[in-house]
């Protein structure tokens, strides 16, 4: 509800400049995201490297597979999506940026006691960046023509209403 109200308020305040401002906001958000990943690579990777052991690696692998795919499959149940689409969304869907925030909160609250948890989160995110980056090129083209549902219709309607094509 808050997102809907915020969107309406933004649309009313932005007026005809709304689509251009959305493009700017999306680009600025992307830049900030890149800076977060740069900081993650520079700060977290050396810390995680010293704490990697078999249990951390095993849990990181579980986090990338079963613990990531099962909730997505549950959330998609009843949506009428085929198995390939659910697996694709489960593999590429949830992002690791929130995990980094949670790791920082844990380290801030627990200090050194959060070491193994932070190592699992850091290794999971690192493995995610590598594995999802390597698998995007071979897997994404196969999915490009499969989903032409509500999202496509909403994008077309937004283009029609704004009079300006949206950059997505």
Q: What are 79-101's pLDDT values in tens digits?
A: 888 888 888 888 887 666 777 77
**Considering only 1-15, 16-30, 64-78, 134-148, which range has the smallest mean pLDDT?**
134-148
Confidence of residue 120 (pLDDT cuts 50, 70, 90): confident
- CA–CA separation, 94 and 64 (whole Å): 10
Angle at 137 between CA 128 and CA 95, to 5 degrees: 30
Residue 147 reports pLDDT greater than 60:
no
| Residue with the larger pLDDT of the pair 86 and 113 | 86
Angle at 140 between CA 138 and CA 146, to 5 degrees: 130
pLDDT at 20: 82
Q: Give the residue among 123, 115, 113 at the shortest CA–CA distance from 58.
A: 123
Residue 53, burial from CB neighbour count under 10 angstroms (0-12, 13-18, 19+): exposed
What's the pTM value of the predicted model, to 2 decimals? 0.62
H helices within the chain, ranges in order? 2-14, 18-39, 45-49, 54-64, 66-76, 83-92, 97-110, 115-143, 150-162
- CA–CA separation, 87 and 36 (whole Å): 27
Cα atoms in the Cβ-side hemisphere of radius 13 Å centred on 9: 6
Confidence of residue 150 (pLDDT cuts 50, 70, 90): very low
pLDDT at 61: 92
Residue 160 reports pLDDT greater than 60:
no
pLDDT at 57: 92
pLDDT, mean over the chain: 78
């Amino acid at each position: 509800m808050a997102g809907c109200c915020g969107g309406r308020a933004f649309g009313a305040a932005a007026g005809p400049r709304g689509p251009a401002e959305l493009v700017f906001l999306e680009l600025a958000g992307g830049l900030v995201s890149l800076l977060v990943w740069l900081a993650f690579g520079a700060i977290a990777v050396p810390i995680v490297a010293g704490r990697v052991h078999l249990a951390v690696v095993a849990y990181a692998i579980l986090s990338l597979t079963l613990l990531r795919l099962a909730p997505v499959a549950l959330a998609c149940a009843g949506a009428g999506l085929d198995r390939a689409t659910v697996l694709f969304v489960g593999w590429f869907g949830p992002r690791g940026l929130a995990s980094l925030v949670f790791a920082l909160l844990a380290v801030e609250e627990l200090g050194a006691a959060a070491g193994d948890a932070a190592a699992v989160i850091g290794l999971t995110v690192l493995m995610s960046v590598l594995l999802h980056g390597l698998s995007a090129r071979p897997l994404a083209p196969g999915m490009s023509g499969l989903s032409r549902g509500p999202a496509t219709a909403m994008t077309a309607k937004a283009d029609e209403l704004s009079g300006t094509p949206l950059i997505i």
